[in-house]
Amino acid sequence: MSATSNAAVVRRFLDDVWNANNLAVADELVHPDYEVEGIGTGPSAVKRNVAAYRATFPDLTCTIEQIVAEGDWVAVRLTLRGTQHGPLGEIPATGRAVAFKEMVFWHVRDGQLRAIWSIGDALGLRVQLGALPASAWRRPVSVDGAAIDATPAREDGPPGTPPDGW
């Protein structure tokens, strides 16, 4: 399939499975070996994952901000929006509306999703839900304990607003 066709598969997956909550479409678009980390493989794992997100954010919507396809890979920059009406891990329901970013790469072959790699703004989400203070943006994060020279966060933005240029 062409890169354009692969991008269309991803768009349909997001529109039909995630946004319209039409889980039956996962049976067509998701390969049996597709792994959802910590949940399982195949269409049934995707359905459980979507159901879990919708239990937490019943009004969840995924907006494609940018999509780029090359060969069998499709990269998508998403904004997810919803209102937290159920627990999210250790965070109890807050009733707060949130918007958070995610970057996702899908491997698509023969019209089906074969693999996923994603990273989302977990810090920003937790700040919006009140599980972390807004000052969390201002604290440098280090993986190895080394000091980090971080630019201070903007003082004029709403909680969770990163400095200009991020």
CB 74 within 8 A of CB 10: yes
CA-based angle 11:115:34, to the nearest 5?
100
Q: Which of 92, 109, 58 is CA-nearest to residue 50?
A: 58
Q: What is the pTM of this model?
A: 0.82
| Domains, the chain, with CATH or none | 3-132 (3.10.450.50), 140-166 (no CATH)
Residue 150 token pair: 């971080």
pLDDT at residue 96 greater than cutoff 80:
yes
3 state DSSP class of 113: strand
The type of residue at 122 is A
Q: Which of 91, 93, 65 is CA-nearest to residue 79?
A: 65
pLDDT at residue 166 greater than cutoff 80:
no
Encode pLDDT of 63-89 as tens digits.
999 999 999 999 999 999 999 999 999
Buried residues in 14-30 as b, exposed as e (16+ CB within 10 A): bebbbeeeebebbeebb
Average pLDDT over residues 139-148: 55
- pLDDT, the chain, mean: 89
